[in-house]
Amino acid sequence: AGAFDLLAACPGWLYAVGIARGLVESGQCKRVLSIGAEALTKIIDWNDRSTAVLFGDGAGAVIIEAVPEQYGIKSVIMGADGSGADQLHKRAVAPCLPSGTPLSETLYMNGREVYKFAVRVMDTATIEALEKAGLTVDDISLFVPHQANLRIIEAARERLGLTRERVVVTVDEYGNNSTASIPLALRDAVADGRVNVGDNLLLVSFGAGLTWASSVLTWGPA
């Protein structure tokens, strides 16, 4: 089996799902293992409470293969805007910069700007994914957002008009696991019996870069 890395920060796993879907639909692959894994505590500045209290380590994986037409991945949206890269990124050690000042190799986030970006893009990416899938918010059984922080999740929930019972929240248990957060949240929802055959799930993520992704899928039988 072939293997490769894909780097798109927090939406990376949804990017991988989109690529895996294309490989299966094209017939190039029969099954694809899509893994989202992070070890963010290695690049955290523990004196920076704007990041140290949020980010955690984690990993999640799924196997993607062909399923009956009524089930499976209905849409995948991927986007990026490099003009906002300075708002959320990992600083590199760069003594060769014109300023001559080396940067620390830690995660940097402008919380206020990222919040505004996240609330906006989770709304637009959701609408785009739903339209591409031919569904509406009322058709969604469960919303599985990127677990950045509770304020962003709550803002997205309110804008979509969803009840709290229809939203998966794990940030209080695991923190922000970046690209691993949605597969981890999805795993917990399945284990808790919150996902049933025929349910439409909405997945949305955003992250450094700045990047974002969304997907709608219909849960099938095991």
* Active-site pick, 47, 96, 176, 177: 176
Give the separation between CA 97 and CA 14, rounded to whole angstroms. Answer: 34
Residues ≥6 apart with Cβ < 8 Å to 206: 10, 11, 117, 118, 121, 122, 125, 146, 148, 212, 213
96 is catalytic: no
Give the separation between CA 104 and CA 122, rounded to whole angstroms. Answer: 30
Provide the token pair at 147.
């677990």
200 is catalytic: no
Provide the token pair at 75.
């849409």
* Active-site pick, 146, 149, 177, 200: 146
Provide the token pair at 104.
């620390």
* Active-site pick, 10, 149, 177, 200: 10
Longest dimension (CA), the chain: 58
The catalytic residue positions are: 10, 146, 176
